[in-house]
Amino acid sequence: MELTTIKDGFDHVTKKQKLSSSKAQEVFDLIDKEMKQTLQKLQSSNGCESQVDCKSSLAELKVKLKEIAPLSQLESMQKELNLALSKYPKILEKSFIPDISKAYRNIDFDTHTINEIIGSHFYRQGLFEVGDCFISETEESESVVAMKSQFQELFRIVEAMKHRNLEPALNWVVINSDKLKPNGSDILLKLHSLQFVEIVQKGNRDRALQYSKTCLAPFASNYMAEIQRLMGSLLWTGRLEYSPYSQLLSPAIWDKVTGELTRQFCNILGQSYKSPLSVTMAAGIQGLPPLLKFMNVMAGKRQEFQSMKQLPVPVELNHEFQFHSIFVCPVSKEQSTEENPPMLMSCGHVLCKQSITKMSKNGTKAFKCPYCPSDVDSAQCRPLIF
């Protein structure tokens, strides 16, 4: 969502507020100065002329206060501030449409699946008590509860890593090594590297050498450069922070390895790295504005919108929300669907089925590929599955 307009409006209001406050303080200081000067004159005057002096001093003060015109100055600044404040809610209303029901579609939700997604989201966030309460109130099956124990193990490992304790993580990786190998994961080397650096930093060079022989040597054939760098750090045992290898102590490395371990953990469980609920909400928030704009244009055709099988307007989502390949036919300029799948032609180029049917006159004649001069027989076209 574009927030530049909102930020500019907020900055404008803030600027006016600061100017108004500064001007008010300036006026108050000026009035205070004039009153103090008059008071000093009154206190210093004595004798028979004191009464005359008092009257003249007060008259002079009255003239000066009139020249300062505090009310007009304050009213002017306050008027500008009020104007800016009155415009800002309109900017918010324009940017944040309070009624999003226009973009709703009448879809039959699988309540059981939705409850499972919400319950698993709580467990993924470490909110185990909240998740238990939700599952209990929705009376869901034990399938989600089974996920709880798995994520409890993950959180125990992550919590231990926060305290520089790698033993639970190493044990989990060793136990699941057969499942990690097909993924080409190097998480075990990364964990051993962290442990090696911890030993070196504590000043135990002999133990570090022994640890490298036992735990790092098996990786030498594929990760020689990484291991050589670790072995070079031995020259700075106990004082890595002053060495060329000080970056090995960076907390960012621990965060990165923790994230990698979490990703591999979820992968083995058959779960996505990010919560499906979080991804769905984030994608929906990003896709909502163009849909609302479309519905404002199609205000009188809501029933037509409800019956559409695909979105009537292009909704651009960030790359992080794109999980599947899509194909847009270069002839019809339409995205492929199950009813209109991409078809691989004999020349190796791809068009959608409906475009091929139209160009071949329902398969009665060959046609030229729009990419190359090859003649294409529609009977030889095959569905292309991404």
What average pLDDT does the segment 230-257 reach?
92
Residues 165 and 245 occupy one common structural domain? yes
Cα angle 266-136-280, degrees, rounded to a multiple of 5: 45
Residues 148 and 249 occupy one common structural domain? yes
At 207 the pLDDT is 94
In the chain, the amino acid numbered 349 is H
49 has a pLDDT exceeding 60: no
At 150 the pLDDT is 86
Can you name the residues that pair with 368 across neighbouring β-strands?
Answer: 375
- Tell me the three-class secondary structure of 222-235, residue by residue: CCHHHHHHHHHHHH
pLDDT digits 0-9 by tens, 305-360: 666 666 667 778 888 887 777 888 888 888 888 889 999 998 999 999 999 999 98
- What residues make up the domain containing 33? 3-43+54-93
Residue 101 lies inside a defined structural domain of this protein: no
At 230 the pLDDT is 93
At 255 the pLDDT is 94
pLDDT digits 0-9 by tens, 362-374: 888 899 898 888 8
Residue 157 lies inside a defined structural domain of this protein: yes
Residues 71 and 153 occupy one common structural domain? no
Residues 333 and 243 occupy one common structural domain? no
DSSP letter string, 25-91? HHHHHHHHHHHHHHHHHHHH--STTHHHHHHHHHHHHHHHHHHH-HHHHHHHHHHHHHHHHHHHHHH
Highest mean pLDDT (candidates 101-115, 207-221, 284-298, 318-332): 207-221
Q: Which secondary-structure segment (H or E) carries 375?
A: strand 375-376
Residues 231 and 335 occupy one common structural domain? no
Counting Cα atoms < 13 Å in the Cβ hemisphere of 181 gives 5
Residue 295 lies inside a defined structural domain of this protein: no
- Tell me the three-class secondary structure of 86-151, residue by residue: HHHHHHHHHHCCCCCHHHCCCCCCCHHHHHHHHHHHHHHCCCHHHHHHHHHHHCCCHHHHHHHHHH
Domains: count for the chain: 3
What average pLDDT does the segment 292-299 reach?
74
What average pLDDT does the segment 271-278 reach?
88
Both tokens of 102, joined, read: 């226009």
pLDDT digits 0-9 by tens, 65-91: 888 888 888 888 888 888 888 888 888
Residues 75 and 172 occupy one common structural domain? no
Residue 130 lies inside a defined structural domain of this protein: no
Residues 259 and 355 occupy one common structural domain? no
The whole model's pTM is what? 0.60
At 209 the pLDDT is 94
What's the whole-number average pLDDT of the chain? 85
Burial of 190 from C-beta contacts in 10 A (0-12 / 13-18 / 19+) = buried
Residues 255 and 158 occupy one common structural domain? yes
Q: Among 8-17, 202-211, 289-298, 308-317, which is the least confidently predicted range?
A: 308-317
Q: Among 61-65, 152-156, 273-277, 356-360, which is the least confidently predicted range?
A: 61-65
What average pLDDT does the segment 203-224 reach?
92
At 163 the pLDDT is 93
Residue 173 lies inside a defined structural domain of this protein: yes
What average pLDDT does the segment 17-25 reach?
88
185 has a pLDDT exceeding 80: yes
Residue 65 lies inside a defined structural domain of this protein: yes
Residues 63 and 146 occupy one common structural domain? no
Last residue of a domain, one of 269, 292, 319: 269
At 31 the pLDDT is 87
At 339 the pLDDT is 87
More confident residue, 4 or 165: 165
143 has a pLDDT exceeding 60: yes
45 has a pLDDT exceeding 90: no
At 51 the pLDDT is 62
Residues 81 and 164 occupy one common structural domain? no
* Sign of the torsion formed by the C-alpha atoms of 204, 206, 212 and 214: negative
Residues 148 and 263 occupy one common structural domain? yes
Residue 306 lies inside a defined structural domain of this protein: no
Burial of 132 from C-beta contacts in 10 A (0-12 / 13-18 / 19+) = middle
| N-to-C CA span, the chain | 31
pLDDT digits 0-9 by tens, 96-139: 766 777 777 777 778 888 888 898 899 988 899 998 898 888 88
CATH classification of the domain holding 355: 3.30.40.10
% the chain with pLDDT above 90: 32
At 300 the pLDDT is 62
At 97 the pLDDT is 67
A 10 A CB-CB count for 192 gives 22
At 330 the pLDDT is 87
Residues 221 and 332 occupy one common structural domain? no
Residue 258 lies inside a defined structural domain of this protein: yes
What average pLDDT does the segment 238-257 reach?
92
